[in-house]
């Protein structure tokens, strides 16, 4: 069995234990596959911790308390090697369950809820040595009717898995096909970075890389855009209007691509640095402040073009850098809601 297929097999028992959520089995599976000094980098406000035990208590234990009938549903599982020889697994999907208790003080609804995730695992010598993840907390707040900041320009909905239903990519790993897929994405992004510094939208040559019926699945707070026009109107135009120095600090970031069949993933922590210098994005003022952005993404190619792109941005981390605390604002917004202590503004 090739290394990347073996790495997916390594992760399979952990994923299975979280499907019919079994805390004891899940914790044991994570202990088996994680190196003792594995670093777990999670979205804000979970933060970075070392070791499987600390990560479990920081992330999965509170999620399981919030959704006692929790289950994990992966619709993308890919693995491959980066240009510097690291081996990664990328997973995308949803945690689902009945939202019966608060998570980070997000008020429960008593109804079915979903928490979209992108999770990346770096493997060395048969052990997980690094984890990077973004859970879509803003989207969960929206489901609870508790998102306290600007409404999304794109469509907020239940983001689907791949239209081709082949996101759980099976082995053996085809290194040449994976490299060709990755090269197309890297070339596309090089063209994207030409605008606005080197010309108008035409310099991106988007029609050369993107399928006419593409869908860009953004995170909660940004939303989904359909087609090139939808992507540009509901994300790219306001994004670049506010931060026109996109791509100016590539020497200060560390990101890596890996492919698996028709799928490509990118990992970086962070993978963007730019200056919030103009108005127009997420209702934010021009703060003239440089911000780091974490984004864990998947692309699916079809007939040599990008048909679907799943994007997860750690917006909570971005807001933290500019002095905005969506969770604190949410607590203020929900002081008199059932289940909250009006004296503290926190879950009772």
Per-residue pLDDT of 295-345, as tens digits, reads 999 999 999 999 999 999 999 999 999 999 999 999 998 877 755 555 655
Contacts of 174 (CB under 8 A, 6+ apart): 261
- The predicted pLDDT at position 249 comes to 84
DSSP 135-193: E-HHHHHHHTT---SPPPSSB-S-----TTS--B--SS--HHHHHHHHHHHHHHHHHHT
Q: CA 80, CA 7: separation in Å to the nearest integer?
A: 9
Closest CA to 52 of 43, 63, 44, 61: 61
Look-up of token digits 């200056």: 275
pLDDT at 150 exceeding the cut of 80: yes
Closest CA to 146 of 281, 328, 342, 312: 328
Look-up of token digits 């208590």: 57
The yes-or-no answer to whether 3-164 and 175-329 have a common fold is yes
User: Which position has the higher pLDDT, 174 or 268?
Assistant: 174
- The predicted pLDDT at position 197 comes to 87
- The predicted pLDDT at position 315 comes to 98
- The predicted pLDDT at position 248 comes to 81
Of 8-22, 87-101, 109-123, 238-252, the least confident:
238-252
> pLDDT tens for residues 216-241?
999 999 999 999 999 999 999 999 99
pLDDT at 78 exceeding the cut of 60: yes
- The predicted pLDDT at position 1 comes to 93
Q: CA 60, CA 109: separation in Å to the nearest integer?
A: 19
Mean pLDDT across the stretch 190-204? 93
> pLDDT tens for residues 268-285?
899 899 999 999 899 999
Q: Where are the domains of the chain?
A: 3-164, 175-329
Look-up of token digits 């059932």: 338
Closest CA to 271 of 295, 244, 237: 295
CATH topology of domain 175-329: Nuclear Transport Factor 2; Chain: A, (3.10.450)
Q: Are 101 and 66 in contact (CB under 8 A)?
A: yes
Q: pTM for this structure?
A: 0.95
Mean pLDDT across the stretch 135-151? 97
CATH topology of domain 3-164: Nuclear Transport Factor 2; Chain: A, (3.10.450)
Mean pLDDT across the stretch 111-139? 98
Bridge partners, 296 (sequence order): 312
Q: Are 294 and 259 in contact (CB under 8 A)?
A: no
Tell me what the pLDDT averaged over the chain comes to.
Answer: 95
Closest CA to 255 of 217, 295, 306, 209: 295
- The predicted pLDDT at position 218 comes to 98
Q: Are 85 and 309 in contact (CB under 8 A)?
A: no
């Amino acid at each position: 069995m090739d290394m990347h297929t073996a790495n997916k097999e390594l992760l399979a028992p952990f994923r299975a234990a979280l499907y019919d959520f079994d805390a004891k089995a899940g914790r044991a599976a994570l202990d088996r596959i994680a190196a003792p000094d594995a670093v777990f980098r999670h979205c804000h406000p979970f933060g970075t911790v070392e070791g499987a035990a600390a990560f479990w208590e920081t992330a999965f234990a509170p999620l399981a308390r919030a959704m006692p009938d929790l289950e994990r549903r992966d619709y993308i599982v890919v693995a491959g090697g980066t240009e510097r020889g690291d081996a990664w697994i990328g997973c995308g999907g949803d945690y689902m369950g009945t939202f019966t208790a608060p998570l980070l003080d997000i008020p429960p609804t008593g109804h079915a809820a979903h928490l979209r995730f992108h999770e990346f695992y770096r493997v060395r010598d048969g052990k997980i040595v690094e984890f990077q993840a973004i859970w879509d907390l803003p989207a969960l707040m929206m489901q609870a009717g508790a998102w306290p900041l600007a409404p999304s320009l794109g469509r907020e909905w239940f983001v689907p898995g791949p239209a081709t239903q082949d996101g759980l990519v099976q082995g053996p790993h085809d290194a040449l096909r994976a490299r060709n897929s990755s090269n197309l994405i890297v070339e596309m992004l090089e063209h994207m970075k030409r605008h606005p510094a080197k010309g108008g939208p035409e310099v991106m040559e988007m029609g050369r890389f993107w399928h006419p019926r593409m869908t860009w699945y953004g995170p909660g707070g940004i939303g989904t855009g359909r087609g090139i026009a939808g992507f540009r109107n509901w994300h790219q135009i306001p994004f670049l209007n506010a931060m026109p120095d996109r791509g100016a600090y590539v020497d200060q970031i560390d990101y890596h691509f890996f492919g698996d069949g028709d799928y490509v993933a990118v990992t970086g922590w962070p993978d963007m640095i730019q200056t919030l210098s103009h108005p127009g994005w997420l209702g934010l003022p021009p703060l003239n402040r440089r911000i780091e952005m974490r984004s864990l993404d998947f692309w699916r190619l079809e007939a040599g073009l990008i048909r679907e792109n799943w994007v997860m941005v750690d917006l909570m981390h971005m807001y933290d850098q500019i002095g905005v605390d969506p969770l604190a604002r949410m607590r203020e917004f929900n002081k008199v809601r059932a289940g909250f202590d009006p004296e503290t503004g926190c879950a009772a």
